[in-house]
Chain A
Amino acid sequence: MDESIVSLVRSIIAFSTLLLFTRLLGKRQVGQLSAFEYIAGITIGSIASSLSVDTSTKPLPQFIGLITWIALVFLLEIISIKYRWFGKVISDQPIIVVQDGKILEQNLRSIRYRYDSLLGQLRENNVFDITHVKYALIEPSGKLTVLKKPEFEQLTPNDIKLQPSNNGLMTEVIIDGVIIKENLASRNKDELWLTQQLQAQGASNINEVSFAAILPNGQLYVDMHKDRIKNVDIGDFDGPF
Protein backbone atom coordinates (compact mmCIF):
# COMPACT_ATOMS: atom_id res chain seq x y z
CA MET A 1 0.00 0.00 0.00
CA ASP A 2 1.59 3.23 -1.15
CA GLU A 3 0.22 5.77 1.29
CA SER A 4 1.52 8.73 -0.72
CA ILE A 5 -0.52 7.72 -3.77
CA VAL A 6 -3.55 6.94 -1.59
CA SER A 7 -3.28 10.38 0.05
CA LEU A 8 -2.88 12.01 -3.36
CA VAL A 9 -6.04 10.37 -4.75
CA ARG A 10 -8.02 11.04 -1.58
CA SER A 11 -6.86 14.67 -1.50
CA ILE A 12 -8.05 15.18 -5.08
CA ILE A 13 -11.44 13.70 -4.11
CA ALA A 14 -11.72 15.88 -0.98
CA PHE A 15 -10.52 19.04 -2.72
CA SER A 16 -12.83 18.85 -5.73
CA THR A 17 -15.83 17.76 -3.64
CA LEU A 18 -15.30 20.66 -1.24
CA LEU A 19 -14.85 23.09 -4.13
CA LEU A 20 -18.04 21.87 -5.80
CA PHE A 21 -20.19 22.00 -2.68
CA THR A 22 -18.90 25.28 -1.27
CA ARG A 23 -20.05 26.87 -4.54
CA LEU A 24 -23.45 25.40 -3.73
CA LEU A 25 -23.42 26.98 -0.27
CA GLY A 26 -23.42 30.48 -1.72
CA LYS A 27 -21.30 33.58 -1.74
CA ARG A 28 -21.50 34.64 1.88
CA GLN A 29 -18.16 35.47 3.45
CA VAL A 30 -16.79 34.46 6.82
CA GLY A 31 -17.81 37.79 8.39
CA GLN A 32 -21.42 37.26 7.34
CA LEU A 33 -21.78 33.78 8.82
CA SER A 34 -23.54 33.10 12.10
CA ALA A 35 -21.58 31.40 14.87
CA PHE A 36 -23.19 28.04 14.02
CA GLU A 37 -22.44 28.34 10.29
CA TYR A 38 -18.86 29.28 11.11
CA ILE A 39 -18.40 26.21 13.30
CA ALA A 40 -20.17 24.02 10.71
CA GLY A 41 -17.68 25.32 8.14
CA ILE A 42 -14.76 24.37 10.36
CA THR A 43 -16.25 20.89 10.88
CA ILE A 44 -16.70 20.42 7.13
CA GLY A 45 -13.07 21.44 6.60
CA SER A 46 -11.96 19.04 9.30
CA ILE A 47 -13.86 16.12 7.72
CA ALA A 48 -12.36 17.00 4.33
CA SER A 49 -8.86 16.98 5.78
CA SER A 50 -9.56 13.65 7.44
CA LEU A 51 -10.80 12.24 4.12
CA SER A 52 -7.64 13.54 2.53
CA VAL A 53 -4.95 12.08 4.78
CA ASP A 54 -6.45 9.70 7.33
CA THR A 55 -5.81 6.35 5.66
CA SER A 56 -6.68 4.42 8.81
CA THR A 57 -10.35 4.62 7.91
CA LYS A 58 -12.23 3.89 4.71
CA PRO A 59 -12.76 6.96 2.53
CA LEU A 60 -16.44 6.31 1.81
CA PRO A 61 -17.81 6.91 5.36
CA GLN A 62 -15.79 10.15 5.53
CA PHE A 63 -17.05 11.18 2.11
CA ILE A 64 -20.63 10.47 3.22
CA GLY A 65 -19.99 12.47 6.41
CA LEU A 66 -18.71 15.38 4.34
CA ILE A 67 -21.67 15.31 1.96
CA THR A 68 -24.12 14.98 4.89
CA TRP A 69 -22.71 18.03 6.70
CA ILE A 70 -22.75 20.11 3.54
CA ALA A 71 -26.30 18.92 2.71
CA LEU A 72 -27.51 19.76 6.24
CA VAL A 73 -26.01 23.26 6.16
CA PHE A 74 -27.52 23.76 2.69
CA LEU A 75 -30.90 22.49 3.93
CA LEU A 76 -30.78 24.84 6.94
CA GLU A 77 -30.06 27.76 4.63
CA ILE A 78 -33.01 26.86 2.38
CA ILE A 79 -35.37 26.42 5.35
CA SER A 80 -34.14 29.67 6.94
CA ILE A 81 -34.89 31.57 3.73
CA LYS A 82 -38.33 29.98 3.41
CA TYR A 83 -39.36 30.25 7.06
CA ARG A 84 -38.06 33.44 8.66
CA TRP A 85 -38.82 32.30 12.22
CA PHE A 86 -36.62 29.25 11.70
CA GLY A 87 -33.79 31.45 10.47
CA LYS A 88 -34.12 33.53 13.61
CA VAL A 89 -34.07 30.42 15.79
CA ILE A 90 -30.90 28.99 14.29
CA SER A 91 -28.90 32.12 13.67
CA ASP A 92 -30.18 34.40 16.43
CA GLN A 93 -31.19 38.00 15.83
CA PRO A 94 -29.47 41.35 16.19
CA ILE A 95 -29.54 42.75 19.69
CA ILE A 96 -29.27 46.40 20.76
CA VAL A 97 -26.37 46.96 23.15
CA VAL A 98 -26.12 50.77 23.10
CA GLN A 99 -29.10 53.11 22.87
CA ASP A 100 -28.83 56.91 22.97
CA GLY A 101 -25.29 56.65 24.30
CA LYS A 102 -26.25 54.29 27.15
CA ILE A 103 -24.94 50.74 27.37
CA LEU A 104 -27.74 48.17 27.81
CA GLU A 105 -26.02 45.93 30.34
CA GLN A 106 -28.76 43.33 30.46
CA ASN A 107 -28.61 42.75 26.72
CA LEU A 108 -24.84 42.66 26.84
CA ARG A 109 -24.94 40.05 29.61
CA SER A 110 -27.55 37.94 27.79
CA ILE A 111 -25.18 37.41 24.86
CA ARG A 112 -22.11 37.16 27.13
CA TYR A 113 -20.42 40.06 25.39
CA ARG A 114 -17.54 41.80 27.15
CA TYR A 115 -17.26 45.58 27.59
CA ASP A 116 -13.75 45.44 26.10
CA SER A 117 -15.11 43.84 22.93
CA LEU A 118 -17.90 46.40 22.73
CA LEU A 119 -15.51 49.34 23.08
CA GLY A 120 -13.08 47.78 20.63
CA GLN A 121 -15.81 47.24 18.07
CA LEU A 122 -17.06 50.81 18.57
CA ARG A 123 -13.56 52.08 17.81
CA GLU A 124 -13.45 49.88 14.70
CA ASN A 125 -16.60 51.69 13.65
CA ASN A 126 -14.81 55.03 14.17
CA VAL A 127 -16.72 55.79 17.36
CA PHE A 128 -14.44 57.07 20.10
CA ASP A 129 -17.16 58.77 22.12
CA ILE A 130 -20.03 56.51 23.16
CA THR A 131 -22.38 59.49 23.58
CA HIS A 132 -22.32 59.91 19.77
CA VAL A 133 -24.15 56.58 19.38
CA LYS A 134 -27.88 56.48 18.70
CA TYR A 135 -28.03 52.69 18.33
CA ALA A 136 -25.35 49.98 18.37
CA LEU A 137 -26.37 46.41 17.56
CA ILE A 138 -24.56 43.10 17.75
CA GLU A 139 -25.40 41.22 14.56
CA PRO A 140 -25.77 37.39 14.46
CA SER A 141 -22.30 37.26 12.91
CA GLY A 142 -20.92 38.87 16.12
CA LYS A 143 -20.10 42.17 14.40
CA LEU A 144 -21.19 45.51 15.80
CA THR A 145 -23.15 47.90 13.61
CA VAL A 146 -23.51 51.51 14.68
CA LEU A 147 -25.97 54.27 13.89
CA LYS A 148 -24.63 57.61 15.07
CA LYS A 149 -26.83 60.45 16.26
CA PRO A 150 -27.68 62.72 13.29
CA GLU A 151 -25.49 65.56 14.58
CA PHE A 152 -22.44 63.27 14.56
CA GLU A 153 -23.02 61.66 11.15
CA GLN A 154 -20.65 62.53 8.33
CA LEU A 155 -21.69 65.30 6.02
CA THR A 156 -22.89 64.11 2.61
CA PRO A 157 -23.24 66.15 -0.62
CA ASN A 158 -26.99 65.84 -0.17
CA ASP A 159 -26.84 67.63 3.20
CA ILE A 160 -25.42 70.77 1.61
CA LYS A 161 -27.50 70.43 -1.58
CA LEU A 162 -24.39 69.77 -3.66
CA GLN A 163 -24.73 68.08 -7.06
CA PRO A 164 -21.92 65.52 -7.20
CA SER A 165 -20.43 64.43 -10.51
CA ASN A 166 -21.72 61.14 -11.86
CA ASN A 167 -19.92 58.03 -10.76
CA GLY A 168 -20.00 54.56 -12.25
CA LEU A 169 -17.94 51.46 -12.83
CA MET A 170 -14.49 51.20 -14.32
CA THR A 171 -14.34 48.79 -17.28
CA GLU A 172 -11.08 46.93 -17.89
CA VAL A 173 -10.24 46.68 -21.60
CA ILE A 174 -6.65 45.38 -21.64
CA ILE A 175 -5.08 42.88 -19.28
CA ASP A 176 -1.49 41.80 -19.92
CA GLY A 177 -1.54 43.08 -23.50
CA VAL A 178 -4.77 41.27 -24.39
CA ILE A 179 -7.80 43.31 -25.44
CA ILE A 180 -11.07 42.33 -23.77
CA LYS A 181 -13.37 42.90 -26.74
CA GLU A 182 -16.63 42.26 -24.86
CA ASN A 183 -15.86 45.03 -22.35
CA LEU A 184 -14.80 47.40 -25.12
CA ALA A 185 -18.08 46.79 -26.96
CA SER A 186 -20.09 47.20 -23.74
CA ARG A 187 -18.74 50.79 -23.47
CA ASN A 188 -19.52 51.42 -27.18
CA LYS A 189 -15.86 51.74 -28.12
CA ASP A 190 -13.84 50.00 -30.83
CA GLU A 191 -10.23 48.94 -31.25
CA LEU A 192 -9.47 51.99 -33.42
CA TRP A 193 -10.48 54.29 -30.56
CA LEU A 194 -8.42 52.22 -28.16
CA THR A 195 -5.32 52.34 -30.38
CA GLN A 196 -5.65 56.13 -30.75
CA GLN A 197 -5.99 56.55 -27.01
CA LEU A 198 -3.00 54.32 -26.32
CA GLN A 199 -0.86 56.22 -28.79
CA ALA A 200 -1.92 59.50 -27.22
CA GLN A 201 -0.70 58.16 -23.88
CA GLY A 202 2.62 57.00 -25.31
CA ALA A 203 1.99 53.30 -25.86
CA SER A 204 3.03 52.44 -29.40
CA ASN A 205 2.53 48.69 -28.98
CA ILE A 206 -0.30 46.98 -27.14
CA ASN A 207 2.15 44.48 -25.64
CA GLU A 208 3.67 47.32 -23.63
CA VAL A 209 0.36 47.73 -21.78
CA SER A 210 -0.10 45.83 -18.54
CA PHE A 211 -3.58 47.12 -17.71
CA ALA A 212 -5.99 49.55 -19.29
CA ALA A 213 -9.51 50.50 -18.29
CA ILE A 214 -12.18 52.98 -19.31
CA LEU A 215 -12.90 55.20 -16.30
CA PRO A 216 -16.46 56.23 -15.36
CA ASN A 217 -15.84 59.64 -16.98
CA GLY A 218 -14.98 57.93 -20.31
CA GLN A 219 -11.23 58.52 -20.14
CA LEU A 220 -8.77 55.69 -20.67
CA TYR A 221 -6.49 54.73 -17.81
CA VAL A 222 -3.30 53.04 -18.99
CA ASP A 223 -0.68 51.24 -16.95
CA MET A 224 2.47 50.08 -18.78
CA HIS A 225 4.64 47.11 -17.92
CA LYS A 226 7.51 49.58 -17.48
CA ASP A 227 6.33 52.30 -15.12
CA ARG A 228 8.49 55.37 -15.57
CA ILE A 229 8.31 56.46 -11.94
CA LYS A 230 10.87 57.07 -9.25
CA ASN A 231 10.98 54.26 -6.69
CA VAL A 232 10.05 55.37 -3.21
CA ASP A 233 11.67 53.40 -0.41
CA ILE A 234 9.31 53.16 2.54
CA GLY A 235 11.35 50.54 4.43
CA ASP A 236 13.61 51.40 7.34
CA PHE A 237 15.59 48.18 7.11
CA ASP A 238 18.53 47.97 4.76
CA GLY A 239 19.09 44.24 5.17
CA PRO A 240 19.33 41.75 2.31
CA PHE A 241 15.61 40.89 2.23
Chain B
Amino acid sequence: MKRKLIIFGSILMLTFYILIMTSAFVFKNPLTTEDNVIGQLDLIQQAAKNDDWQRAESEFIKGKQAWEKIKNRIQFSVEKIFVEFVDEELGTLNGAIKAQNVDMVIITTEKIKYVWYEMGH
Protein backbone atom coordinates (compact mmCIF):
# COMPACT_ATOMS: atom_id res chain seq x y z
CA MET B 1 0.00 0.00 0.00
CA LYS B 2 2.78 2.40 1.05
CA ARG B 3 4.78 1.45 -2.05
CA LYS B 4 1.80 2.08 -4.34
CA LEU B 5 1.23 5.44 -2.65
CA ILE B 6 4.86 6.45 -3.24
CA ILE B 7 4.73 5.38 -6.91
CA PHE B 8 1.41 7.17 -7.44
CA GLY B 9 2.70 10.27 -5.64
CA SER B 10 5.87 10.30 -7.76
CA ILE B 11 3.94 10.00 -11.02
CA LEU B 12 1.59 12.75 -9.86
CA MET B 13 4.55 14.97 -8.98
CA LEU B 14 6.23 14.45 -12.37
CA THR B 15 2.94 15.10 -14.19
CA PHE B 16 2.49 18.31 -12.21
CA TYR B 17 6.03 19.43 -13.11
CA ILE B 18 5.46 18.70 -16.80
CA LEU B 19 2.22 20.70 -16.66
CA ILE B 20 4.07 23.65 -15.09
CA MET B 21 6.76 23.44 -17.76
CA THR B 22 4.26 23.36 -20.64
CA SER B 23 1.74 25.78 -19.16
CA ALA B 24 2.75 28.74 -21.39
CA PHE B 25 0.89 27.13 -24.26
CA VAL B 26 -2.35 27.60 -22.30
CA PHE B 27 -1.55 30.55 -20.06
CA LYS B 28 -0.48 32.90 -22.83
CA ASN B 29 -4.10 32.92 -23.98
CA PRO B 30 -6.49 35.39 -22.36
CA LEU B 31 -8.27 34.08 -19.28
CA THR B 32 -10.14 37.35 -18.58
CA THR B 33 -11.08 40.40 -20.66
CA GLU B 34 -8.05 42.29 -19.38
CA ASP B 35 -5.23 40.05 -20.50
CA ASN B 36 -5.70 39.79 -24.25
CA VAL B 37 -2.31 40.93 -25.57
CA ILE B 38 -2.95 39.96 -29.22
CA GLY B 39 -6.36 41.65 -29.12
CA GLN B 40 -4.77 44.83 -27.80
CA LEU B 41 -2.09 44.74 -30.51
CA ASP B 42 -4.85 44.52 -33.16
CA LEU B 43 -6.63 47.50 -31.59
CA ILE B 44 -3.36 49.52 -31.51
CA GLN B 45 -2.72 48.71 -35.17
CA GLN B 46 -6.27 49.66 -36.12
CA ALA B 47 -6.09 52.95 -34.20
CA ALA B 48 -2.74 53.80 -35.83
CA LYS B 49 -4.11 53.09 -39.31
CA ASN B 50 -7.03 55.44 -38.52
CA ASP B 51 -4.58 58.07 -37.25
CA ASP B 52 -6.29 57.94 -33.85
CA TRP B 53 -3.09 58.23 -31.78
CA GLN B 54 -4.86 59.02 -28.52
CA ARG B 55 -6.75 55.73 -28.74
CA ALA B 56 -3.58 53.91 -29.81
CA GLU B 57 -1.86 55.19 -26.67
CA SER B 58 -4.70 54.14 -24.35
CA GLU B 59 -4.87 50.70 -26.01
CA PHE B 60 -1.09 50.42 -25.62
CA ILE B 61 -1.40 51.02 -21.84
CA LYS B 62 -4.05 48.27 -21.63
CA GLY B 63 -1.83 45.99 -23.74
CA LYS B 64 1.17 46.61 -21.49
CA GLN B 65 -0.93 45.79 -18.40
CA ALA B 66 -2.19 42.61 -20.12
CA TRP B 67 1.40 41.59 -20.90
CA GLU B 68 2.49 42.11 -17.28
CA LYS B 69 -0.25 39.67 -16.19
CA ILE B 70 0.64 37.09 -18.84
CA LYS B 71 4.36 37.43 -18.10
CA ASN B 72 3.87 36.27 -14.50
CA ARG B 73 1.85 33.28 -15.68
CA ILE B 74 4.21 32.02 -18.35
CA GLN B 75 7.58 32.78 -16.74
CA PHE B 76 8.09 29.18 -15.55
CA SER B 77 7.74 27.64 -18.99
CA VAL B 78 9.30 29.98 -21.55
CA GLU B 79 12.78 31.14 -22.41
CA LYS B 80 13.89 34.40 -20.86
CA ILE B 81 14.75 35.64 -24.36
CA PHE B 82 11.06 35.55 -25.42
CA VAL B 83 10.03 37.64 -22.42
CA GLU B 84 12.88 40.08 -23.02
CA PHE B 85 11.98 40.32 -26.70
CA VAL B 86 8.35 41.24 -26.00
CA ASP B 87 9.45 43.75 -23.34
CA GLU B 88 11.84 45.35 -25.81
CA GLU B 89 9.36 45.42 -28.69
CA LEU B 90 6.69 46.98 -26.45
CA GLY B 91 9.20 49.75 -25.76
CA THR B 92 9.67 50.24 -29.50
CA LEU B 93 5.89 50.21 -30.02
CA ASN B 94 5.47 52.90 -27.36
CA GLY B 95 8.05 55.02 -29.20
CA ALA B 96 6.35 54.41 -32.56
CA ILE B 97 3.00 55.56 -31.12
CA LYS B 98 4.59 58.68 -29.62
CA ALA B 99 6.29 59.40 -33.00
CA GLN B 100 2.97 58.65 -34.73
CA ASN B 101 4.74 56.31 -37.15
CA VAL B 102 2.12 53.97 -38.67
CA ASP B 103 4.65 51.77 -40.49
CA MET B 104 6.69 51.23 -37.33
CA VAL B 105 3.54 50.38 -35.34
CA ILE B 106 2.54 47.77 -37.93
CA ILE B 107 6.05 46.27 -38.11
CA THR B 108 6.42 46.06 -34.31
CA THR B 109 2.95 44.63 -33.61
CA GLU B 110 3.43 42.01 -36.34
CA LYS B 111 6.86 41.10 -34.90
CA ILE B 112 5.36 40.61 -31.45
CA LYS B 113 2.51 38.51 -32.91
CA TYR B 114 4.98 36.34 -34.81
CA VAL B 115 7.02 35.59 -31.69
CA TRP B 116 3.84 35.21 -29.64
CA TYR B 117 2.68 32.22 -31.68
CA GLU B 118 6.10 30.57 -31.22
CA MET B 119 6.06 31.14 -27.46
CA GLY B 120 5.42 28.00 -25.42
CA HIS B 121 5.73 25.63 -28.40
Residues of A bordering B, CB below 8 Å: 1-3, 5-6, 9-10, 13, 16-17, 20, 55-60, 63
Contacts and interface: CB of A to CB of B under 8 A. Distances in A.
A63 B18 contact: yes
SS of A interface (majority): helix
25 contacts: A1-B75, A1-B83, A1-B84, A2-B75, A3-B80, A6-B75, A9-B20, A9-B76, A13-B17, A13-B20, A13-B21, A17-B17, A20-B13, A20-B14, A55-B79, A56-B79, A56-B81, A58-B21, A58-B77, A58-B78, A58-B79, A59-B77, A60-B77, A63-B18, A63-B21
A56 B80 CA distance: 5
Interface in B64-81: 71-72, 75-81
Interface in B39-98: 71-72, 75-81, 83-84
Chain B interface size range: 10 to 19
Interface in B19-39: 20-22
Nearest to A3: B80
B77 A55 contact: no
A17 B14 contact: yes
Contacts of A56: 79-81
A10 B17 CA distance: 9
A59 B76 contact: yes
A59 B21 contact: yes
Contacts of B83: 1
B15 interface: no
Interface of B: 10, 13-14, 17-18, 20-22, 71-72, 75-81, 83-84
A180 B10 CA distance: 29
A60 B120 CA distance: 10
A6 B77 CA distance: 9
B74 to A, nearest CB: 9
Q: Which 3 A-B pairs have the closest CB atoms?
A: A60-B21, A55-B80, A1-B83
B22 A60 contact: yes
Nearest to B13: A16
A57 B77 CA distance: 9
Given A1-B71, A9-B20, A60-B21, A20 B10 contact: yes
A9 B14 CA distance: 14
Contacts of B18: 60, 63
Contacts of A57: 79
A6 B76 contact: yes
